[in-house]
Amino acid sequence: MTDSGRPESVPQAPRAEVCETHTAVLFFMGDRAFKVKKPVDLGFLDYTTLAARKVACEREVAVNRRFAPDVYLGLGEVRSPDRETPEPVVVMRRMPADRRLSRLVRTGAPLDDVLRAVARRLATWHAEAPHGRDTDEQGTRDALSARWEASFAQIRAMSGDGSVPDGVPEVERLVRRYLAGREPLFTSRIAQGRVVDGHGDLLAEDIFCLDDGPRVLDCLEFDDRLRYVDGLDDAAFLAMDLEHLGAPDGAAYFLARYSEYSGDPAPPSLWHHYVAYRAFVRAKVSLIQARQGAPGAESASRRLTSTALRHLRTGAVGLTLVGGMPGSGKSTLSGALADRLEATLLSSDRLRKELAGIAPEQSAAAGYGEGLYTREWTRRTYDALLERAAALLASGESVVLDATWSTAQQREAAQRVAEVTSADLVALHCQVPDEVVATRLSSRAPGPSDAGPEIAAAMAAREPAWPEAVTIDTSGRLENATSRALAAVRPWGSGQAPVFRRPYMEPD
């Protein structure tokens, strides 16, 4: 009793709760949480024996103490009168449910500070995490391909008759195409030390945003190889989950902050690919949960498959040719398009002068087919242009090539580069009325292009038809021309995933 005679207020302990996943059951009592493994065999893990469950519990404590040492208290036991051997239990501090990242997302709480702290924590661990031959082997292109193919096979097996849910065939096609042309990208990631012993299962539900910093729980423990991942792959898991929870801007912000703190120069295509991979793995898990009777799991699987498909489409590596005669607006359109696509822009005019050892703004004007514009100089320029494009495409960078593309041989050479690098080729042909060309060329300031009205007329007279190219009229507003060009490059329109923009980084 208080001095006033009123009953003294006694703080109430948190209510007891039970939570079930596809692999475990969690009991929450007081300030403790207890996790028991289910005796299940799901193909990718087998907990049907007591020994296997004990090893999994021990492993869970060990790997999670790397991220939250003050949460994972150790191994406990549950004894039953009718069993001689006790059941192993992971014992943890109970975290405050209202500080779950997933709840903060759902309630519309400000996320920037929280996501920045999680990104910094994850990047710090990745910088310190062990890596070596065993981890590197899981970062190869072929290892990632094998994980994708295993998920495809598991989803087909679950259907019974070999059929697959809507969207899965296109996911399979886009995954195989991306991986087929990107081996140099994955080789470079290993060389940079980007493949580490990470978290492996980073979900907003398992992250608690406390005043003294985030607690990241529930590492993947049942297969070390699945925890040996590219750091960006690890981060992409949380980005996928944030998007699934309805926070696509938060997903993009988190990946940008992770890339900033980790100094990661990965191309946006790889960000999208890893988000798609994580979404598809989650779709597979949701199908497993649906077969265990979990309400809403089947619809969740469909949504996650759609997420994977959006990111694979957006992250597809593309080679876009923007051609046309001098004065057609191709260089202006190329710059705007490259910016919207997060692509690398290469210009034949600039490269020609680079090869000649002169500044882009320095004039090299000459008659038609003379000086730097002989057939040999032009061949040399296009060879170098396509060689650089091939290296960028193999490294996961989409490329926009600004050139006239005025011969069938040049266009065929570009087609071969796209085939070798498994890149999507789109050709855009800029055209405007002759009077617009004349006005533009007569008033154009000095720059990389040296072509005047006479050169343009001579080139136009010799230009072959380009039926496979999409005609873009650039005589109007740039935004209108850019929108038409984007529709040709990305015809799925509303299927666009969130844009991932790399943060600015000072050069080394």
The span from the CA of 273 to the CA of 69, in Å, is 32
- In percent, the amount of the chain with pLDDT more than 90 equals 70
- Residue intervals in the chain for CATH 3.40.50.300: 318-495
If phi > 0 it is left, if psi is from -120 to 50 it is alpha, else beta; for residue 41 that is: beta
Can you tell me the mean pLDDT for 189-193? 96
Chain-centroid distance of CA 221 in Å reads: 24
Domain 17-93 listed as CATH 3.40.50:
no
> Domain 318-495 belongs to what architecture?
3-Layer(aba) Sandwich (3.40)
DSSP percent split of the chain into helix, strand, coil, nearest 5: 50, 15, 35
Q: Where are the beta strands (DSSP E) in 420-488?
A: 424-431, 470-473
Question: Which is it for strands 344-347 and 32-37: parallel, antiparallel or unpaired?
Answer: unpaired
Q: What is the pTM of this model?
A: 0.86
Instruction: Enumerate the H helices of 222-264 as residue ranges.
Output: 224-227, 231-244, 248-262
- Residue intervals in the chain for CATH 3.90.1200.10: 97-314
Give the 3-state secondary structure of residue 257. Answer: helix
Q: Which residues are CB-neighbours of 244 under 8 A, at least 6 positions away?
A: 279, 282, 303, 304, 307
Confidence of residue 43 (pLDDT cuts 50, 70, 90): confident
Cβ(418)–Cβ(424) below 8 Å: yes
Q: 97-314, what's its fold?
A: Aminoglycoside 3'-phosphotransferase; Chain: A, domain 2 (3.90.1200)
Question: Which is it for strands 399-402 and 195-197: parallel, antiparallel or unpaired?
Answer: unpaired
What tokens does 114 get? 């929280």
Torsions phi, psi for 430 (to 5 deg): -80, 130
- Residue intervals in the chain for CATH 3.30.200: 17-93
Cβ(343)–Cβ(489) below 8 Å: no
Task: Please report the pLDDT score of residue 18 as a whole number.
Answer: 93
Query: Quick check: 362 pLDDT over 90?
Result: no
Cβ(328)–Cβ(430) below 8 Å: yes
pLDDT (tens digit, 9 = 90+) per residue, 107-162? 999 999 999 999 999 999 999 998 889 999 999 999 999 999 999 999 988 877 66
- In percent, the amount of the chain with pLDDT more than 70 equals 93
